[in-house]
Chains A and B, each alone.
Chain A
Amino acid sequence: MTVYGSVLGLIGNTPLVEISELSPNPAVRLLVKLEGHNPGGSVKDRIALAMIEEAEKEGRVEPGQTLIEPSSGNTGIGLALVSRVRGYRLKVVLATNVSIERRQLLELRGAEIIESPGAEGSNGAVRRARALAAEHPDWAFLYQYANQANPNAHYNGTGPEIWRDCPTVTHFVAGLGTSGTLLGVGHYLKDQNPEVKVLAVEPPAGEIVDGLRNLDDGYIPPIFVENGGADLLDGKRIVRPRESIEWTRRLADVGIFAGISTGAALAGAIRTAASIESGTIVVVSADGGWKYLSTGAWTDDLDVVVERAKQITYF
């Protein structure tokens, strides 16, 4: 065993686990990459470290400085971890409807939470953070939606790890949030084998879109545009809370305790598996199930859990 210089050394090199017993097609292998094994508990540790290190390299930040970021949880938690270890102060703009575990995980690492209305979702949090950053020019705004270090962390880390562990991969499926994972891993895998298909899964937009006053309030992450996301993706599909929770439970049946967005990504992979002749599908599990225990996702009546899931951010 290695002795790590700090907990940040544990970021990345997550395990890839075969779950082909869940595949509806015996000629399709299913593998899941468990990003919940990162020390902050999610895939976002990778970009938190990459964004801070890149900003340090460019001389945009130095320890002691205040960072601000809009986050539905995991990026904030990752940034809080890296900030604690590296000596930054962190403010996270958070929609009010995230699970209580996410809030506690931020607070225990010293992050300050600034609330934005839940109904405005991520769009509202992004707007608020942008306004605050403009008011406080001394704060550093890393902004995962527009930070090239986000997809780069996956191009340089997650993608090569998948290729190293499974060069026979034919399809890659992940959730679409900032689009960083899909862009970084997608480009890396297609650079190795242009035949690899890259598929995005997203939650229903829900009530957030009800808060939009006009279509031009819509938002496409700048990194998605700058990295040719629309040309990179081979498919994008909405997966609804019921199907997401059903597949989250099926994962628990094979011993994998993953967050609800993993169930959504797996649901997308299952549909793909059923529609192709043969192949190997790699699915990203963005986080473990710990932060979702309060939703009763594994234990309560499915209808009740589906209603609860609609009230929280799980992507």
Chain B
Amino acid sequence: MPVQVNLPTVLRAHVGGVKTVTAEGSTVGEVLRFLVDRYPGLSGQVIDPNGSLHKFVNVYVNDDDVRYLSVLDTPVKDADDISILPAVAGGSTGAGEHHRR
């Protein structure tokens, strides 16, 4: 089923410069693998060579960090909002929004 995936600036070059792409999958892992298949430039960027989520990448489903859900096995439903973000130090600004409802 289709879901919207919001990408950070640093990854947009690999998807033709857009902020949001549509992907399919019933888990976070399936969605990420779908993206890597479609946009080979993302290979190694979100999933590391061991098949785990990249250390410096956080993935959120409806604003919940999937590392504390079921990581790549976290289920994804139709119309869920998925955001991929690089890890940054805390104390960041509230500036900008990577997705708007």
Contacts and interface: CB of A to CB of B under 8 A. Distances in A.
A218 interface: yes
A54 B72 CA distance: 40
Given A208-B95, A209-B10, A311-B95, A218 B90 contact: no
A4 interface: no
B56 A220 contact: yes
B55 interface: yes
Contacts of A145: 89
Contacts of B67: 230, 236
Interface string A284-315: 00000000000000000000000001111111
Nearest to A241: B94
A273 B96 CA distance: 28
Contacts, number: 145
A16 to B, nearest CB: 24
A220 B95 contact: no
B72 to A, nearest CB: 14
A209 B93 contact: no
B74 interface: no
Q: How large is the interface on A (under 10, 10 to 19, 20 to 34, 35 or more residues)?
A: 35 or more
Interface in A178-230: 178-179, 202-210, 212-221, 230
Contact of B88 (A97, A218, A309): A218
B56 A216 contact: yes
A72, A215, A216, A238 pick with most chain B CB within 10 angstroms? A215
A206 B94 contact: yes
B68 A208 contact: no
Given A210-B9, A213-B10, A218 B92 contact: no
A156 to B, nearest CB: 21
B85 interface: yes
B10 A121 contact: no
A282 B14 CA distance: 43
Contacts of B93: 95, 97, 118, 121, 203, 206-208, 310-315
B91 A315 contact: yes
Given A212-B8, A213-B10, A234-B68, A122 B45 contact: no
A123 interface: yes
Q: Which of B10, B45, B65, B89 has the most CB of A within 10 A?
A: B89
B10 A237 contact: no
Nearest to A311: B95
Contacts of B57: 215, 218
A185 to B, nearest CB: 15
Contacts of B64: 235-237
A126 interface: yes
A29 B69 CA distance: 25
17 contacts: A121-B88, A123-B88, A176-B90, A205-B8, A205-B88, A208-B92, A209-B8, A209-B9, A210-B8, A215-B10, A218-B87, A218-B88, A235-B65, A235-B69, A236-B67, A240-B94, A244-B94
Interface of B: 8-11, 45, 54-57, 60, 63-65, 67-69, 83, 85-98
Closest 3 CB pairs of A and B: A218-B56, A177-B90, A206-B95
